Structure 1
Amino acid sequence: MSPYCDHCGRLGDDGDHSACRTARLMEPPRYCAACRRRLVVQVTPRGWSARCVEHGVTTD
């Protein structure tokens, strides 16, 4: 498991993240799961891409 939640940015073991997991089914990540930085997110009709300045690009 990643140290941080990629939806809310809190520590992964800090509380219940079931709402975050549900939201992530329809939304791109907002935080880097490795370093908790806010991501630069671009949503297109075909999917999304999220970029962390430290860890690079994640796509759907």
Structure 2
Amino acid sequence: MTVTEEWCDRCGEAAATGAHGACAAARALEPPRYCTRCRRRMKVQVVPTGWSAVCVEHGEIRC
């Protein structure tokens, strides 16, 4: 199964439309804010060693 990104994980807008260069640059320093699969706002926790982001539908991402 291949998962394609439908939504931008920083601004929440459609990934296929518009320029997301600023989003990509910001994501180098910030955790994701939106789930790329369902566009839900994720619960994000930042700690000194990294971050975690949780979507209620699709689970957790860690760095």
TM-score, length of structure 1 as denominator length: 0.97
Consecutive aligned runs of 4 or more in structure 1 exceeding 2 Å deviation: none
Matches within 5 A, 1:39-58: 39-58=42-61
Matches within 5 A, 1:1-60: 1-60=4-63
Instruction: Provide the aligned C-alpha RMSD in A.
Output: 0.6
Q: For structure 1, which runs of at least 5 residues remain unmatched after alignment?
A: none
Identity percentage over the alignment?
A: 55
